Every structure is written in structure tokens, then in C-alpha cells.
Structure 1
Amino acid sequence: MRKSYWTPSIIPNDNDQTVYLVAEDFGKLGRAWREADYEATDLETVIEDLLSGQYNNPICVVAFNTEERWSEDVSEDVARELRRRCDLELRDLPSSIQDFVERHEDRNRGQLTLRLV
């Protein structure tokens, strides 16, 4: 019997799709990449899931595109977008993502100052 060393690829077949995965801290159980439905790895779905409490203690968000052969930690961009959406809706950040946003948002954000005339 002939042995085959070929294994199926885990790379999505869609040619040019950027995938976003969230790493989460499960405390004593450790840290892991969260399992995600193939159709739920786009940026908008990940942001909506973060805002709706689907993640309890996210660590980082990484984007990768296998067609273009790149990956990048996009946690700062995601944190900025989460803050922006909550600000627009005049609501507080959900407690499940508050640490994530504070840890990753742009350090130059600072508080706006009003000029007294």
C-alpha cells in the first residue's frame, strides 16, 4: 500500500479574502484562538461579535490574507473602531472588551482640550 504525505489545505479557497481571528484569554484554561465559522471571519462580523459580548476577554485580533501572503496584528485598528462606534451611539464600552480597547487603542488619543477665549 502506498503512503500519502499529502494533507488537505486549511487555506480558504476564495482567492482574495482577508480573514480576522480573535485570540482570547480563558484564564486558568489558557489562551487560544477562538473557533469561528468560515463565513464569520470578516472584519464587520468580528467587530459586531466583540460589541455584542461574544468574546469575554479578547487579547488580540490578527488579519491574514493567504492570496497576498501577509498577516498583521490589527488590534489597535479594531480597538479604535470599537471605541468610535460606542462613542457614536453614546454608550459605554461593554465590560467584556473594555480591557482590550484600553490596552490597544492609540496611545496618542488623549483627551480633547477646550480653548478658553
Structure 2
Amino acid sequence: MPHSPSTVPHPRDVYLVLEDFGGGLGRAWSETNEDDAGRATLMRQIMEGQYQHPARIVVFNTVEGWSRDVTVEIADELRRCFVEFDDIAPAALEFIERVGRS
């Protein structure tokens, strides 16, 4: 049987956010456009306030076959790069304070 090439052109890390909607709504994985699932875009979206209460952030790579929780890692990285952002959403500050390490 001939070998078929992969339908995925390059290994790519995909980031998803578990958003806590509070009250009776609970938590759900936020819908994300395929082109917006990278680390830099995710960090910018958090700083802009596109996520109101991110509870968990997971990165995965189906080509390489792994996944992991990067919630604390992202919060720490956002804390270190505050100066790169002109305006920081209150939700981003709350996320960094709640999750980030000193």
C-alpha cells in the first residue's frame, strides 16, 4: 500500500482557551479561528480583553501527538511583556494576578 502524504503541511502548536462564563453558564472551550490559534495571537487577544475569564489554556500538536496545560506559562509570559502592549484589558490583569507566579 503506498504511503499517503500528511494533510497537515507543517507541525503547528494550537492554543485553546477554556472560558469561565460564571453563574449558571459554566465553562466552555472558546471558538477559535484556525489562523488565530497561535501563541502570539492568543496573548494579544488576552491583553485586548477578548477573553473575560480564561480558566485554562491548553496547547496541542496533533502531528507530534502531544498536549499540555500552559495556563501558568502564558500568565507569566504576559506579565513579562506588559511594556509591549499599549492598553491592557482589566480581564487580562485579573488573569495574570489570579494565575501568574511572582
1:21 corresponds in structure 2 to 16
Q: Is the Cα–Cα contact under 8 Å of residues 47 and 85 in structure 2 kept in the other structure? A: no
RMSD between superposed Cα atoms in Å: 2.1
The structure with the largest alpha-carbon Rg is 1
Instruction: Work out whether residues 19 and 28 of structure 2, in 8 Å CA contact, stay in contact via their aligned partners in 1.
Output: yes
SS at match of 2:94: helix
Partner Cα distance (1:81, 1:40) in 2: 18
Structure 2 counterpart SS, 1:79 = helix
Structure 1, unmatched stretches of 5+, are 1-11, 110-117
User: What corresponds to 2:75 in structure 1?
Assistant: 79
**What amino acid sits opposite 1:74 in the alignment?**
V
* Residue of structure 2 in register with 1:45 after alignment: 41
Confirm or deny: 8 A CA contact 1:83 1:93 kept in the other structure: no
CA distance in 2 between counterparts of 1:96 and 1:60 reads: 14
Runs of 4+ with >4 A deviation: 89-93
Give aligned-pair identity as a percent.
40
TM-score between both structures, scaled by the size of structure 1: 0.72
Q: 8 Å contact 2:14–2:61 — kept in the other structure?
A: yes
**Pairs within 5 Å for 1:99-110:** 99-106=94-101, 109=102
CA distance in 1 between partners of 2:41 and 2:81 (Å): 14
* Structure 2 stretches lacking a partner, 5+ long: 1-6
Q: Give the total of aligned pairs.
A: 95
| TM-score, normalization by structure 2 | 0.81
Aligned to 1:54: 50
**Greater RCO (Cα-Cα under 8 Å, separation 6 or more):** 2
Is the 8 Å Cα contact of residues 16 and 68 (structure 1) preserved in structure 2? yes
